[in-house]
Amino acid sequence: MSKEHPVEHIEPVPVSEALPSRKVLRSWLLPLVQQDTARALRLLIIDYIIFFALIFAAMAAPHFWQRLLASLASGYWIGRLFILGHDACHQSYTPHRKLNRLLGRIAFLPSLSAYSLWEVGHNVIHHGFTNLKGVDFIWIPASKEEYDAMSGPRKALERFYRSGFGPWLYYMIEIWWKKMYFPNKKHKPSDRKSFFWDNVLVTAFAAIWLLAIVLIAPAFNVSIISALITAFVIPFIFWNGMIGWAVYVHHTHSRIQFYDNKKEWTAANPFVTTTVHLTFNKPWGAMMHHIMEHTAHHLDMTIPLYKLKAAQDKLEELLPGRIVVQKFSVRWYFKNAKQCQLYDYVNKQWIDFNGRPTVNA
């Protein structure tokens, strides 16, 4: 465990004053940058045990509705495991770099995510240039001119992606298939042997997973096709929907701005102003390993997930009125999807597919 830092008394920064630098903001959270190896291992082992139990139930439970429930729950647990791998990839999960790389690859296996590709695409590109068009590539909105230039089928796909119902398909096609699973030269950030071998690793895991279904399902009088659907296809689609939705609500909001000019982006202190803290009535934050405390995570990637809630609370206490905090509701979610369709990068405002302003119009 890393050495603790003393907690200093810090006065909140009024909205009328300039936002402190990232270095200063991160210094406020130093007491929370403490990795705990035993806790990290415990979280991974417990989540893997639950995942394997759910996958077994999804192919061997006696009734289809039981297999379906286990299928959906296993997709959710793939997401929980991925969040642990995400932390390890940021080197915030344990104090040990090599152990983090190992645990990250293990945690990423059920989501079929290549560790090294995620490390570059997420850590370097997304975190390094959050919401900067032309560099960051996750949920960056198109301009009206770009939308008008799309073909008819591509326009229809864009409308579905941003309808509120499309995060699963967006992530599966635009992120996982194009950029994370044996990406071609156009979508590959560079040429590294690790990209190929990490994809081989997750493909081998998928092959073992599928083979296990084929061998185990008949022993419980379950058809192989049915078992493949409930123990592999549905969990994988659910997982894609889970991460697609999470990344969408982290950065898509009527108060969140996007940039196509690096100078403007830098001046906006994007490590605080480009993310949303989504809150819930029930403890869903803990159920998602606190990944929804996203402002603190973007400010300092070295804060482990088991410290993010305290870090987020501290930021909101010291920066009142600065951080976008949104209480989740289904009504808000679909209203947000309707407001955030295209983006006017000149006037810094969200517009609909017809080019009309949707916020403060």
158-180 pLDDT, tens per residue?
999 999 999 999 999 999 999 99
Pairing of strands 342-344, 349-351: antiparallel
The number of domains in the chain is 1
Counting Cα atoms < 13 Å in the Cβ hemisphere of 296 gives: 29
Does the residue 340 lie in any domain?
no
298 inside domain: no
**pLDDT digit of tens for each residue in the chain (361 aa)?**
444 444 456 788 887 787 888 888 888 888 788 888 999 999 999 999 999 999 999 999 999 999 999 999 999 999 999 999 999 999 999 999 999 999 999 999 999 999 999 999 999 999 999 999 999 999 999 999 999 999 999 999 999 999 999 999 999 999 999 999 999 988 888 888 999 999 999 999 999 999 999 999 999 999 999 999 999 999 999 999 999 999 999 999 999 999 999 999 988 878 788 899 999 887 777 788 888 888 988 888 888 988 898 889 888 888 888 889 999 999 999 999 999 999 999 999 999 999 999 986 4
| pLDDT tens digits, 76-93 | 999 999 999 999 999 999
Q: What is the pTM of this model?
A: 0.91
| pLDDT computed for residue 306 by the predictor | 86
Domain that holds residue 95: 35-266
Q: Is 232 part of any domain? A: yes
82 located within any domain:
yes
Evaluate whether residue 197 is within a structural domain. Answer: yes
pLDDT at residue 245, rounded to an integer: 96
Q: Which residue has the tokens 């969140």?
A: 256
Dig out the tokens for 90 from the structure. Answer: 């940021």
Is 247 inside any structural domain? yes
Q: Is residue 46 part of a domain?
A: yes
The reported pLDDT for the residue numbered 72 is 98
Q: Is residue 356 domain-resident?
A: no
What dihedral do alpha carbons 174, 177, 178, 179 form, nearest 10°?
100
Residue 289's CB is within 10 A of a number of other CB atoms, namely 22
Which own/partner contact pairs does 58-61 have at CB distance under 8 Å and 24+ positions apart? 58/227, 58/230, 58/231, 58/234, 58/235, 59/213, 59/216, 59/217, 59/220, 59/222, 59/227, 59/230, 59/231, 60/216, 60/217, 60/219, 60/220, 60/222, 60/227
